[in-house]
Amino acid sequence: MNLKALYKISYGLYIITSRKGDLINGQIANTVFQISNEPATIAVSINKKNLTHEFIKESKLLAVSVLAMDAPLSLIGHFGFKSGREADKFEGINYQLGDSGLPHVTSDTLAYLEARVFQEADAGTHTIFIAEITGAEVLKEGAPLTYAYYQEVKRGSVPKTAPSFVPEPKEKAVLEKYECSICGYVYDPELGDPENGVEPGTPFEALPDSWVCPVCGVDKTAFKLQ
């Protein structure tokens, strides 16, 4: 069975935010979809272990920032591989508070939605929050970032808590490639890292000491042969 078949299902990439009192937090999610038009409702799947899940459960509020196709890997890594329990995820991030007091990211974002949860569905490791939209704005025009584009073009990785996470079979590992032990990003010398000035064909050993993982930001010492 090849679970990579799941990659062919259409997804986007979004930053889901919520609040708990005066505290705010956010995370990357790919499972967001519209359910109905009148009233306008959406469904969002969030891992139960995540802090954002705790905030949504308490406040019954969530917001969705729709990422643009050219959103940098560093932004996705910031919200996807760091814990709000250990750091303020909005430090250094351009954002605004909507009418519900929920933050939405304003850089590299096409639009945002605010919604109030009225129903939940237990999905094992995740909760599916069903929410009615209470606010929505388009920030700029452009193509949204899809999960397929993130995987195939940007070569991004996903955390193990993501519903779309599929582990790489060990027997298919290639020694020339190096994998980030924190987020799972794979540096492929044949492809390089053009987004950060590394030309295709650059071996891992030749990367400058200043180079960091384009997803989660750790340095070269966190990488190991795949």
The pLDDT value recorded for residue 153 is 72
The pLDDT value recorded for residue 89 is 93
The pLDDT value recorded for residue 56 is 98
Q: Which residues are CB-contacts of 31 (< 8 A; sequence separation ≥ 6)?
A: 11, 43, 44, 45, 163, 164
In this prediction the pTM is: 0.74
Q: What does the alpha-carbon distance between residue 220 and residue 144 come to, in Å, rounded to a whole number?
A: 31
Taking a C-beta distance cutoff of 8 angstroms, is the pair 143, 135 a contact?
no
DSSP-assigned letter for residue 140: -
DSSP-assigned letter for residue 193: B
- Please give the chain's pLDDT, 226 residues, in tens: 887 787 677 889 999 999 999 999 999 999 999 999 999 999 999 999 999 999 999 999 999 999 999 999 889 989 998 889 988 999 999 999 999 999 999 999 999 999 999 999 999 999 999 999 999 999 999 999 988 878 777 665 555 555 555 555 555 444 589 999 999 999 999 999 998 999 998 999 999 999 999 999 999 999 999 8
Q: Pick from 180, 164, 176: which is nearest to 73 by CA? A: 180
Taking a C-beta distance cutoff of 8 angstroms, is the pair 158, 79 a contact?
no
Beta-ladder partners of 136: 113
Q: Which residues are CB-contacts of 26 (< 8 A; sequence separation ≥ 6)?
A: 15, 16, 17, 18, 52, 65, 79, 84, 89, 90, 103, 105
The pLDDT value recorded for residue 132 is 98
Taking a C-beta distance cutoff of 8 angstroms, is the pair 173, 226 a contact?
yes
Q: Which residues are CB-contacts of 186 (< 8 A; sequence separation ≥ 6)?
A: 155, 157, 177, 178, 179, 180, 226
**Yes or no: is domain 167-226 CATH 2.20.28.10?**
yes
CATH classification (class only), 11-148:
mainly beta
The pLDDT value recorded for residue 8 is 75
Q: What does the alpha-carbon distance between residue 88 and residue 25 come to, in Å, rounded to a whole number?
A: 8
Tokens of 129: 């929050």
The pLDDT value recorded for residue 172 is 43
> What is the total residue count of the chain?
226
Which part of the chain is CATH 2.30.110.10? Answer: 11-148
Question: Tokens 């196709």 — which residue?
Answer: 69
The pLDDT value recorded for residue 173 is 41
Which part of the chain is CATH 2.20.28.10? Answer: 167-226
Q: What does the alpha-carbon distance between residue 3 and residue 160 come to, in Å, rounded to a whole number?
A: 14
What phi, psi does 219 have (nearest 5°)?
-85, 180
